[in-house]
Chain A
């Protein structure tokens, strides 16, 4: 059944979209000190810079259709190195999910539910993730399509009320008021944060039919994500002024709090928060699914449902234990700056070597 799933163009598009927007929606304020008004440009360029790596993954999947990158690694390097790499991969996924869960829960608590205990909210999110990951991936892909479209619509409609009263062009222009070095630092950080989608692609490439031919789907998804995310940051900066914007914890929800149309329409942060919840649900499920796939591979499909529950527990317990926005923020910054992108590059290098070796062996054996 796993091998039969073929994702369509829109599903790949939106899965990549949600896969990229994970912790980046919260920790993009880390670089605001360095990029100032150019934060949205840095975001746009940063996410675009992930494209080469994504296309690289697609090409690696060309010769091994229907297999994840880990399958390729295993066939090339043997079980033990692949197990080591898988273990690190699982840990990274768990860390991403823990950071995401914590930051979203704190968003909820800070804005709407100050008295609800943290574990209750996290429990529900993890339960939903288990529910979704348990079903077929194709169903989940369709759900992600729906959720993304709805989240986008939500976002756009809520912020359309901000025009024109709350958008101040003088907060946006001049755009480049920082040094080039600061801008580059910011861009690199954004690339690191956006490379969460590479983590997803490592597993998802098995579901994409004919990856090398359809790499454009992934590229389009990333470009779209870059456009949407950078315009969100642009709107936030225009509404809040960058000096205030760099201090806020929760991005667009803070910004939506300002919007008041007449005496009647206010509190729109509630709707923008809905988009954040969709992102949290989607990302948690994706992390759970990726970790679960890698674990299934490592332990050779031993009682997959039990493995799913164990992985979910492994995400839930550290998240509850961490229980702090600041620590989660620092964790996310750490992951984005130093861990995710280098890890993916290492995996890609190993896999490329494997594929090249295989080709050479196949070439030499066919002589």
Chain B
């Protein structure tokens, strides 16, 4: 091993004047100074950044009214219709600032129930500053719907709901006064669910009005509400309704938990809400029932279902439903039971016809000709002479064509709509037959199938039936009745696997409940017992 040479230690400062100790010490002190200063600056900057970054929601109210006003302008802007006013109230003792958004607030109420009494009121000279707010709230505001708040977030939210905010100079609590008023529709006839003998009210976009319609039909203390606010942008108010003692508590609990788990930015309407909480959004069958009528909702609640209403949507939905609920209308319960049973059976037949007629026709005409009666055979054969398309293609084209016509007719307005409808149906139909593009029997089959689809009570199921129809048509065009029966088995299997909030979709047929069958395919008498799964606690409907 080499021996290391001992380093020669000499003074470095002889060669480098900067290396002298004192110099180093001086530089070190300067560095320390710099560092501490920059730390202070950083602290200060950090504080400022904190202040800037902290959400204004958590911010507390300033003591000065003007600062509050400025913050509000920064947050929501004046152009939304922000009205700010400063008044010397209570005999000039207190400075107050009133803020509201003019389009959604009842200005009449603000001026007469809030500002007027405050301006006219007088207060003792020796009231404390802190007690002023409580005094105002109890003695001078004529509106009972008030609350305090000191967080800016809450203030802004209430402003956007149409409330008026009262700031008091020198207090960091503000008073929020409920004064919302929005323009709403009057209660009209339900457009999509017409009936003959039942009530003709329908929901509107205002949640309170809707709730009022339900409450007046079930004015009982057992009717329970629960409010949620969901949707980051839309802040939609959702109300869950059920009847305590009649509904299955487990099902309500399940609904509650699903609604609380919703995480979305905008709830467009009740349909979106339903899709977010239903069991199987991919299925073609709806596992809830959407309705526009308050009497349907009231009946469902009484039967043990739970209902959900939300603001800005004139529809409500209730669950858990079964397949058979889609065929019930309120007319059934208003008519006599024999007529009602007949009509309900007619609806089921219409549904079956709409999904089975065209595939059966197709398979009879192309694969299994043996079942066609001979008298029809010659007709059909002559009808098909010269048609360029094969039967399956013809059928699909026409079915699709009718869908397009219907969609178009839905959007054409007014009198033009009637004209176009007639044009499409009659003229195009006739012309295509006359020109020899399609055969007459196909048009009849397609038209009958399409029309009978609309006899079903719920519109959701109408489109379901059209989809099933397409599925069956494809299967039967390839395989005749073998494919059709396979398709039927698959649809059964799908139905058997669906559950709506824990209730099997085909209940009360499977699993079987004899007492409930009285209201499934027929309507025999007034149902005396509620369905077993829906209302396990309280099954009897009558007092006896």
Contact = CB atoms under 8 A, between A and B. Distances in A.
Contacts of B493: 131-132, 135, 139-140, 143
A140 B483 CA distance: 20
B504 interface: yes
Given A131-B490, A147-B489, A277-B485, A267 B496 contact: no
A267 B370 contact: yes
Contacts of B483: 124
Interface stretch (A75-83, A258-266, A325-333): A258-266
Contacts of A125: 486
B506 interface: yes
A353 interface: no
A178 interface: no
Contacts of A281: 486, 489
B510 to A, nearest CB: 5
Contacts of A112: 367-368, 370, 480-482
A270 B489 contact: no
A90 B371 CA distance: 40
Given A147-B492, A263-B375, A267-B371, A142 B486 contact: no
Contact of A139 (B373, B374, B482, B496): B496
Contacts of B479: 124
A278 interface: yes
B414 interface: no
A146 interface: yes
B373 A270 contact: no
A125 B370 CA distance: 24
Contacts of A264: 373, 375
Interface in A116-135: 121, 124-125, 128, 131-132, 135
A337 B496 CA distance: 36
Contacts of B492: 143, 146-147
B351 to A, nearest CB: 15
Contacts of B371: 266-268, 270
A243 interface: no
Contacts of A177: none
A263 B376 CA distance: 11
B373 A142 contact: no
Interface string A244-275: 00000000000000000001111110100110
B282 interface: no
Contacts of A301: none
B223 to A, nearest CB: 33
A274 B492 CA distance: 14
Contacts of A278: 485, 489
A274 B487 CA distance: 12
Contacts of A339: none
B409 to A, nearest CB: 36
Contact of B510 (A10, A124, A265, A266): A10
A266 B479 CA distance: 21
A270 B364 CA distance: 10
B285 to A, nearest CB: 14
A142 B498 CA distance: 11
User: Which of B375, B485, B486 has the most A CB atoms < 10 Å from its CB?
Assistant: B485
B106 to A, nearest CB: 55
Nearest to B485: A277
Given A128-B486, A128-B490, A278-B485, A145 B373 contact: no
B482 to A, nearest CB: 6
A277 B482 CA distance: 8
The prevalent SS among residues of B at the interface is helix
B516 to A, nearest CB: 14
B131 to A, nearest CB: 63
B374 A142 contact: no
A265 B370 CA distance: 11
Interface in A70-129: 108, 112-113, 121, 124-125, 128
B7 interface: no
Nearest to B481: A270
Contacts of B489: 128, 143, 147, 277-278, 281
A112 B481 CA distance: 9
A139 B497 contact: yes
Contacts of A143: 489, 492-493, 496
B511 A8 contact: yes
A273 B367 CA distance: 14
A131 B228 CA distance: 40
A143 B509 CA distance: 12
Contact of A263 (B373, B482, B486): B373
Contact of A270 (B370, B490, B504, B506): B370
A11 B504 CA distance: 14
A136 B494 CA distance: 11
A199 to B, nearest CB: 22
User: Which of A108, A142, A267, A277 has the most B CB atoms < 10 Å from its CB?
Assistant: A142
Interface string B328-356: 00000000000000000000000000000
A281 B490 CA distance: 11
A147 B292 CA distance: 35
Nearest to B487: A128
A16 to B, nearest CB: 16
A290 to B, nearest CB: 18
Interface string A24-36: 0000000000000
Interface string B289-331: 0000000000000000000000000000000000000000000
Interface string B452-485: 0000000000000000000000000001111101
Interface in A136-173: 136, 139-140, 142-143, 145-147
A138 B374 CA distance: 45
A179 B373 CA distance: 45
Contacts of A266: 370-371, 373
Contacts of A11: 511
A146 B368 contact: no
Nearest to B504: A142
Contacts of B368: 112, 267, 270
A274 B482 CA distance: 8
28 contacts: A8-B512, A10-B510, A11-B511, A113-B480, A124-B482, A124-B483, A124-B486, A125-B486, A131-B490, A132-B493, A135-B497, A139-B493, A142-B497, A143-B496, A145-B496, A145-B510, A146-B496, A146-B506, A147-B489, A263-B374, A264-B373, A266-B370, A266-B371, A267-B370, A267-B371, A273-B481, A277-B489, A278-B489
Given A124-B482, A273-B481, 7 more contacts: A10-B512, A128-B490, A263-B374, A264-B375, A270-B371, A277-B486, A278-B489
Closest 8 CB pairs of A and B: A267-B371, A142-B496, A139-B497, A143-B493, A143-B496, A267-B370, A146-B492, A264-B373
Interface of B: 367-368, 370-375, 479-483, 485-486, 489-490, 492-493, 495-497, 504, 506, 509-512
